[in-house]
Amino acid sequence: MSQTAVAIANRVRFGVCSAQEVIKTTLEVLRTRDQTYHCVTRLLSDRALSMAEDLDARIAKGDPVGPLVGVPFGVKDLFDVQGLVTTAGSIVLNNNPPATDDAVVVQRLVEAGAVPVATLNMDEFAYGFATENAHYGTTRNPRNTDCLAGGSSGGSAAAVAAGMLPFTLGSDTNGSIRVPASLCGVWGLRPTQGSLPMEGVYPFVASLDTVGPFANTVTDLARIFEVMSGRPQEEVEDVRGLNVAQLAGWFIQDADPAILDGMDRISDFFGSRRKLTLAEAERLRAAAFVISAAEGGTLHLPRLRTEPMAYDPATRDRLMAGSMIPASALVQAHRLRNWFRAGLHELFKEVDLLIAPATPGVAPRFDQATVTLGGKKVPARANLGVFAQPLSLGGMPILSVPLPPVGSGPTAGMPLGVQLIAAPGRENILFAVGKALSQMHLAGYPMMGIPGEETS
């Protein structure tokens, strides 16, 4: 489905096509094209076709249908789907009972007429930035299948980038929406922490976890978030009047020049190239590491003691190491986090929007073990979240914005992205800015179509 969610819903609602036609086509696309990308872990064919039949019957009777009627979507494999065991990208949970209900945000989407069609690949227990899964395979980047899709919501981002699904759901603890959205060239939202219900979502780091959508357009993303949050987004009348600043220092020292150029173009749209330096960014990233390792390790320790060999070895080692972090280190990390949050709240009294790179550069190739940061060779996979992790501690809403394709240079043709950060609850600013930047061709990456299919 290379059409947008809004376009699909309109076509179904007004009888241009049926929900059943949309869902049958989508399922066939996933069966055939996903062999290349490895986004899907399970197809929900029977349920999806039954839901589509019901939607068509309601439309035929003139019954009201929701704003996302007939729109297929997929969910990262840590969202509860009624009747299925929630795997969280692992085999460790295979003997758990099936979920009795969908996750709450999935329920809200279904009530709006959207149709879940697949569960999607991820790093095991969301612990990674690559979606290289020892149990379910490696997700490939649709823009270049020799490259990583990013993680941990890589299956979700890649399914949208490939044009197989109009939108998907992922989770973001330390960048797991923003990193793959940037590397795959799609839009992704980490909402204000606590703004969306987490019931029915398998946890990784409860004090940092959020869930959010991916889409090919910011218009779709805004519509989907309204449904997930259950409230309309207030209009922003004067986008150009916003007070905007770039994050400098830590956030630009190792960024690809094409990202910095994109940030400057966005700043110029607002008539300001103001730059701010966030103090202690490196320590904030370290604090995010400590909190994630300690909470993740503590959550899994009972099971690690009884069935350690069921885990991916790399995940197991990180979780076991995290479980041994002393309490004093965790306390210090949370103190730094609280200090940072308070400082951000003060900062957003004088600015409306912050701009930062989403990743240091384009997606690494699978055979690329290292990247250069701070003049040193460091592991490529572990450092994809270098700009996302510190900001996670703030709890603010963050939009991952794909930049237009770069015409020349060594990274030509591969996506790059920036983060737009707003004050808590101000997702509406992010969406308004995203739409304005799209209209000015300062944001947005071309959608991939299905061969032989018209796009819209």
- Mark whether 376 is an active-site residue: no
Domains 5-229 and 244-422 equal at CATH topology level: yes
Tell me the domain boundaries of the chain. Answer: 5-229, 244-422
The class that CATH gives domain 244-422 is alpha beta
Between CA 289 and CA 116 the distance in angstroms is 33
Q: Which of 90, 152, 156, 438 is catalytic?
A: 152
Q: Per DSSP, what are the bridge partners of residue 419?
A: 356, 400
Domain range 5-229, its CATH number among 1.20.1540.10, 3.30.830.10, 3.90.1300.10, 3.90.79.10? 3.90.1300.10
From the candidates 176, 292, 392, 400, give the one annotated as an active-site residue. Answer: 176
Q: 377: phi > 0 → left, psi -120 to 50 → alpha, else beta; which?
A: beta
For residue 212, CA distances in Å to 192, 193, 197, 215, 370 come to: 10, 10, 11, 10, 29
| Catalytic residue check, 90 | no
10, exposed or middle or buried, with CB in 10 Å at 0-12, 13-18, 19+?
Answer: middle
Distance of CA 346 to the CA centre of its chain: 27
Give dist(CA 267, CA 264) in Å, integer: 5
Output the pLDDT for position 374: 87
Cα-Cα end-to-end distance for the chain:
10
Can you give the pLDDT at residue 453?
41
Instruction: Report d(CA 243, CA 352) in Å as an integer.
Output: 5
d(CA 161, CA 447): 7
Distance of alpha carbon 403 from its chain centroid, rounded?
16
- Spell out the per-residue pLDDT of the chain, length 456, in tens: 568 999 999 999 999 999 999 999 999 999 999 999 999 999 999 999 999 999 999 999 999 999 999 999 999 999 999 999 999 999 999 999 999 999 999 999 999 999 999 999 999 999 999 999 999 999 999 999 999 999 999 999 999 999 999 999 999 999 999 999 999 999 999 999 999 999 999 999 999 999 999 999 999 999 999 999 999 999 998 999 999 999 999 999 999 999 999 999 999 999 999 999 999 999 999 999 999 999 999 999 999 999 999 999 999 999 999 999 999 999 999 999 999 999 999 999 999 999 999 999 999 999 999 998 888 999 999 999 999 999 999 999 999 999 999 866 666 789 999 999 999 999 999 999 999 999 999 999 999 865 434 333
Q: What token pair was written down for 72?
A: 């297929």
| Residue from 2, 18, 76, 229 carrying the catalytic annotation | 76
Identify whether 176 is a catalytic site residue: yes
